């Protein structure tokens, strides 16, 4: 089978290589999935850029189960699933933990599933952490990203009356407004307008300070970025603001009932038309480096997907 891997002691997407390797065998609790779609994520792109040692390119996959490992009872050959792969995911076949798998309903394609489920779960989980109330206002950073464009829509489902989209370039305005944003701001603006009740931040870094300034006294910021950053305690003390960290892996592993509840809610929103996953582009496995560049350059509108 074919697999994209990063093996050189360099950095950057230009070192991704398409190689031929043996098809893996599922171990206990694992599914072997014939991959139909792979979601490219910012954390993986960052690892390739920053990591100088060989790494496995994991990520979101969707496809059909072709073999099951020992102890797996909830899935069988032929089932269509999606989920997060921690090992090699950029491949024709991938090993997926049954605990991380989610069934794909009839009528949903693999590309929609990989664009919706993991990113949508992160968005829904960040919203849950924010504890939104009907009629509140929300700011979503990286609003045109794979997670952000779903968070815009889900915030409205969760009762937001005013939705503000923060983007790296105002060229993305039409896209985010088409998904329900009432206002659009660019990161470099000095003023981010009228403060919001809560904010969902996927960027981190230098953007944390203006994001905290953009929430009302007593407001809360949910951070789910892998980009790091520093928060000044004084910025929180003035106005009694709160910062909440959210990580999906902790929920998936430690609170499976909540994880399943969110999955059910997400597919309901998809089936009812309340949430529409957007796919910016589809790339072949051989073009994985090009897909990474789209993410690095922050030009994507929605999800970037590899299709073996």
Count the domains in the chain.
2
Residue with tokens 């697999």: 3
Q: How confident is the model at residue 138 (pLDDT cuts 50, 70, 90)?
A: very high
Q: How confident is the model at residue 111 (pLDDT cuts 50, 70, 90)?
A: very high
In a domain, 257, yes or no: no
pLDDT at position 124 over 90: yes
Could you tell me if 97 and 128 lie in one domain? Answer: no
The pair of three-digit structure tokens given for residue 95, joined into one six-digit string? 């090993």
**204 in a domain, yes or no?**
yes
Is residue 168 within 8 Å of residue 189, measured between CB atoms? no
Residues 40 and 98 in one domain: yes
- Comparison of pLDDT for 165 and 12, the residue scoring more: 165
Determine the average pLDDT of the residues in 74-95: 95
* Residue 286, pLDDT score: 94
41-55, 75-89, 154-168, 197-211: least confidently modelled range: 41-55
Please report the pLDDT score of residue 255 as a whole number. Answer: 87
Instruction: Verify that 62 and 127 share a domain, yes or no.
Output: no
Give 249 or 269, the one with higher predicted confidence: 269
Average pLDDT, integer, range 103-119? 93
Q: Are residues 192 and 232 in the same domain?
A: yes
The CATH number of the domain holding residue 98 is 3.90.180.10
Name the nearest CA neighbour of 105 among 266, 294, 283.
266
Comparing 271 with 51, the larger pLDDT belongs to 271
Q: Which domain holds residue 241?
A: 119-248
In a domain, 256, yes or no: no
100: DSSP letter:
G
pLDDT of residue 12: 65
Of the candidates 225, 199, 226, the residue with the CA atom closest to the CA atom of residue 210: 199
Between 303 and 247, where is the model more confident? 303
Q: In terms of domains, do 65 and 152 share one? A: no
Q: How far apart (Å, rounded) are the C-alpha atoms in residues 210 and 190?
A: 9
Regarding whether 98 and 54 lie in a shared domain, the answer is yes
pLDDT of residue 253: 76
Q: Mean pLDDT throughout 204-219? A: 92
What mean pLDDT, rounded, does the chain reach?
Answer: 92
Question: Do residues 162 and 193 touch, judged by C-beta distance below 8 A?
Answer: no
Q: What is the per-residue pLDDT for 132?
A: 96
Say if residue 98 is in the same domain as residue 13.
Answer: yes
User: How far are the Cα atoms of 25, 51, 91, 200, 283 from residue 38, in angstroms, in the given order?
Assistant: 19, 21, 9, 25, 10
SS3 142: coil
pLDDT at res. 99:
85
């Amino acid at each position: 089978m074919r697999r994209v891997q990063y093996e050189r002691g360099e950095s950057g997407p230009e070192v991704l290589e398409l190689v031929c390797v043996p098809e893996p065998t599922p171990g206990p609790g694992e599914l072997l999935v014939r991959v139909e779609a792979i979601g490219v994520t910012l954390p993986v792109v960052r690892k390739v850029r920053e990591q100088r040692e060989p790494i496995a390119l994991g990520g979101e996959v969707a496809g059909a189960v072709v073999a099951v490992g020992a102890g797996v009872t909830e899935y069988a050959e032929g089932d269509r699933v999606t989920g997060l792969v921690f090992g090699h995911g950029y491949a024709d076949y991938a090993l997926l933990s049954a605990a991380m798998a989610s069934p794909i309903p009839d009528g949903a394609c693999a590309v929609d599933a990989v664009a919706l489920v993991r990113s949508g779960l992160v968005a829904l989980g960040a919203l849950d952490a924010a504890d939104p109330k009907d009629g509140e206002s929300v700011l979503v950073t990286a609003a045109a990203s794979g997670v952000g464009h779903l968070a815009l829509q889900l915030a409205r489902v969760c009762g937001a009356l005013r939705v503000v989209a923060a983007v790296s370039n105002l060229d993305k305005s039409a896209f985010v407004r088409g998904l329900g944003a009432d206002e659009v701001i660019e990161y470099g603006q000095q003023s981010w307008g009228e403060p919001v009740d809560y904010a969902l931040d996927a960027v981190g870094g230098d953007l944390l300070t203006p994001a905290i300034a953009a929430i009302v006294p007593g407001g809360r910021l949910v951070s789910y970025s892998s980009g790091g950053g520093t928060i000044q305690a004084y910025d929180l003390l003035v106005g009694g603001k709160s910062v909440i960290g959210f990580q999906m892996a902790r929920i998936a592993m430690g609170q499976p009932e909540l994880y399943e509840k969110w999955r059910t809610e997400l597919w309901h929103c998809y089936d009812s038309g309340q949430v529409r996953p957007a796919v910016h582009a589809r790339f072949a496995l051989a073009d994985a480096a090009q897909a990474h560049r789209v993410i690095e350059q922050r030009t994507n509108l929605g999800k970037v997907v590899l299709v073996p």
